[in-house]
């Protein structure tokens, strides 16, 4: 029995048999076949190579039979020579078929991976921000890697394996029965002797492998969380490295012990395979030898049967588990489709139009908003800890919010934490859609404008602006890829960050590190402001954009913002009320409602929440 056949049996017997109980609908199968359409020609040629490969594998033992019975025994040297040459040519052809088969398999498999990965990636990118607040990043990556590869195997390993094994088994059995039905039946009687213990060992391996994978996932998750900058900083600040080390050690110990058990189980498994193969060979030689002595079969036939026997058990065992193999691949497809079938919460209208040119006004008209339920934006299988609750949060976040921001003016949002200020800016950016009411930019309902024109018109700087693990220049150019070097430099000058950048040895080519952790909070925030200035949007949204700046940097950046925001529509969230004294309009948000509106002087004279907030900040 060849190692390839042994490995084929091992893989088939040790796959998780629980998948065969899963239900895959006909629609799913049709959908899968739809992905095969672009590759139908390649699949056809792939299957043809499998048929020829199976025929060649049977031809070789028969040619060995011919050499012995018609060449060596009667002393026909010419026949021996030419048959040996023909066998060598068949071996070359078999090797060539293997290369061709692998080429078709790779073209089909890698092409399918490419198609699925792109489709899943694009679909995930289209999801609303609510999806990303719940989904576990590792689970998403697994769908793009493990499950997509598992789905690909449906068209390569599974398709090729199942059909190849069936073709081989039929051809081998027919040939063996023709050569000697007695030896063939004796060989098949040994099959249960192999299958029963192999299935028992396979179930044990499945259980041990699942346990090892589970602990491996916990260990990997611990490394992922602790090895990023924020996680490492938390561990160091709270001084718990010994406890972290112990937890990791305990998990690694389980993985180690499981690995030893699996290694020994594997050895027993392959020992059993070898033993059964040896027993089958012994039976064949014993029974066949006597048949040769009595003249029932020739010596060449006996040796041909021994050669064919090595090709019998692998396909036979694999076919006995064909449902597990097929369902393993189909379940991977099902998990990919689960992501693809999750509808984005925010979608572009099929008749969407571009925003009008020129300065843009902003208007909220009786807007109500409640955060969506988990079932609307996420999948339970993508959340390792979060519960798929049925509620939509703590009730309405915004209630009957109405206001207008004239083009070219600055409106400030103030109020206590959790009042709904950031939610207002998120709705304006169309990260979510309101439950009721309308939001207009430039007089157009934002649900009726294209995503591209909306993104081009808006510029946002949040309290904790994200930086990719890339250079400062790359992070800036993300806002405007076609910007010139002079434009990048001017944006940095206006954001009061150019002096710092130019003092670095690598300047704009300096790598900022994971999430920008190589930069101070103020430096990162000023780079984010430079990114916004480089984009030069018509509507600017600042969510505590100066929160991380010291007093000196804050004054410098505010001067830059005053110049940059001149003539642009601006919505600014500010906790430091001193920074928005010059706002054309200040909206005081409390419990999702606008309770006061006016200028700084008007609100101070009016009293109420704004006056209380102002006095609290400036009388401490």
pLDDT tens per residue, range 373-426: 777 777 766 665 444 444 445 578 999 999 999 999 999 999 888 889 999 999
Indicate if 362-380+390-618 has the same CATH topology as 22-180+321-342.
Answer: no
Which range, of 233-247, 337-351, 592-606, averages the lowest pLDDT? 233-247
The pLDDT of residue 116 is above 80: yes
Enter the tokens of residue 108. 């089909």
Each residue's pLDDT tens digit, 124-139: 888 878 777 777 666 6
CATH dotted code for 362-380+390-618 = 3.40.50.300
- Taking residues 333-360, what's their average pLDDT? 86
Higher pLDDT, 250 or 236: 250
Percent of the chain surpassing pLDDT 70: 79
Confidence of residue 618 (pLDDT cuts 50, 70, 90): low
What's the confidence (pLDDT) of residue 28? 73
Confidence band, pLDDT 50/70/90 cuts, at residue 542: confident
Q: What pTM does this model have?
A: 0.71
Q: Give exposure, 313-351, as e/b (b: 16+ Cβ within 10 Å).
A: bbbbbbbbbbebbbbbbbbbbbbbbebeebeebbebeee
Q: Compute the distance between CA of residue 434 and CA of residue 447 in angstroms, rounded to an integer.
A: 10
Token pair, residue 143, equals 């769908």
Q: What is the mean pLDDT of residues 425-445?
A: 92
- Kindly give the residue spans of alpha helices, DSSP state H, lying in 15-76: 26-36, 40-66
CA dihedral (506, 471, 428, 350) positive or negative: positive
Q: Using CB atoms within 10 Å of the CB of residue 438, give its burial: 0 to 12 exposed, 13 to 18 middle, 19+ buried.
A: middle
- Residue 543: how many other CB atoms lie within 10 Å: 22
Burial 479-510 (b: 16+ CB within 10 A, else e): bbeebeeebbbbbbbbbbbbebbeeeeeebeb
Per-domain residue ranges for the chain? 22-180+321-342, 181-296, 362-380+390-618
Tokens, residue 195 = 């299958």
CATH superfamily of 22-180+321-342: ABC transporter type 1, transmembrane domain (1.20.1560.10)
Torsion on CA atoms 66, 68, 70, 76, rounded to nearest 10: 120
List the structure tokens of 211: 């346990």
């Amino acid at each position: 029995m060849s190692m390839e056949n042994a490995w084929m049996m091992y893989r088939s017997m040790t796959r998780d048999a629980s998948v065969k109980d899963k239900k895959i609908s006909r629609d799913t199968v049709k959908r899968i076949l739809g992905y095969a359409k672009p590759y139908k020609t390649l699949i056809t040629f792939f299957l043809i190579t499998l048929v020829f490969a199976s025929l060649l594998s049977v031809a070789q033992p028969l040619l060995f039979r011919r050499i012995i019975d018609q060449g060596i025994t009667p002393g026909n040297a010419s026949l021996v020579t030419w048959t040996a040459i023909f066998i060598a040519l068949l071996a070359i052809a078999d090797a060539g078929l293997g290369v061709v088969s692998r080429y078709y398999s790779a073209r089909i498999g890698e092409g399918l991976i490419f198609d699925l990965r792109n489709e899943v990636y694009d679909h995930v990118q289209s999801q609303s921000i609510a999806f990303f607040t719940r989904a576990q990043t590792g689970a998403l990556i697994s769908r793009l890697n493990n499950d997509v590869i598992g789905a690909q195997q449906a068209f390569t390993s599974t398709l090729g394996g199942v059909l190849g094994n069936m073709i081989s088994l039929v051809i081998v059995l027919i040939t063996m029965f023709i050569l000697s039905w007695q030896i063939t039946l004796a060989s098949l009687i040994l099959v249960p002797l192999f299958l029963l213990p192999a299935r028992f060992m396979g179930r044990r391996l499945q259980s041990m492998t699942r346990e090892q994978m589970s602990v491996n996932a916990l260990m990997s998750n611990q490394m992922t969380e602790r090895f990023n900058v924020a996680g490492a900083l938390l561990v160091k600040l709270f001084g718990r490295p010994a406890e972290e080390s112990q937890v990791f050690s305990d998990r690694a110990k389980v993985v180690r012990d499981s690995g030893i058990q699996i290694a020994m189980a594997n050895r027993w498994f392959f020992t059993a395979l070898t033993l059964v193969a040896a027993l089958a060979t012994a039976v064949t030689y014993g029974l066949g030898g006597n048949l040769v002595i009595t003249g029932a079969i020739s010596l060449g036939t006996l040796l041909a049967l021994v050669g064919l026997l090595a090709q019998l058990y692998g396909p036979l065992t694999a076919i006995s588990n064909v449902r597990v193999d097929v369902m393993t691949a189909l379940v991977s497809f099902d998990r990919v489709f689960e992501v693809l079938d999750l509808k984005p919460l925010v979608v572009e209208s099929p008749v969407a139009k571009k925003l009008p040119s020129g300065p843009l006004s902003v208007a909220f008209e009786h807007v109500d908003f409640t955060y969506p339920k988990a079932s609307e934006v996420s999948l339970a299988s993508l959340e390792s800890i979060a519960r798929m609750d049925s509620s939509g949060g703590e009730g309405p976040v915004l209630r009957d919010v109405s206001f207008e921001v004239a083009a070219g003016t600055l409106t400030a949002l103030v109020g206590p934490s959790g009042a709904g200020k950031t939610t207002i800016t998120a709705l304006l950016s169309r990260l979510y859609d309101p439950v009721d009411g309308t939001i207009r930019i430039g007089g157009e309902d934002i649900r009726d404008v294209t995503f591209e024109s909306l993104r081009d018109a808006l510029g946002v700087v949040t309290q904790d602006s994200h930086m990719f693990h890339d250079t400062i220049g790359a992070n800036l150019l993300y806002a405007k890829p076609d910007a010139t070097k002079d434009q990048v430099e001017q944006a940095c000058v206006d954001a009061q960050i150019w002096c710092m950048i130019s003092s670095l040895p690598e300047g704009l080519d300096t790598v900022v590190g994971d999430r920008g952790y190589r930069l101070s909070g103020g430096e990162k925030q000023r780079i984010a402001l430079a990114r916004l200035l480089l984009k030069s949007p018509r509507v600017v949204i600042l969510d505590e954009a100066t929160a991380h700046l010291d007093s000196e940097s804050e004054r410098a950046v505010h001067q830059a913002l005053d110049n940059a925001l001149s003539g642009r529509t601006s919505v600014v969230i500010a906790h430091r009320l001193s920074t928005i004294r010059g706002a054309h309009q200040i909206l005081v948000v409390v419990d999702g409602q606008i309770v006061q509106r006016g200028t700084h002087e008007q609100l101070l004279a009016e009293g109420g929440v704004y006056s209380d907030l102002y006095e609290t900040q400036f009388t401490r």
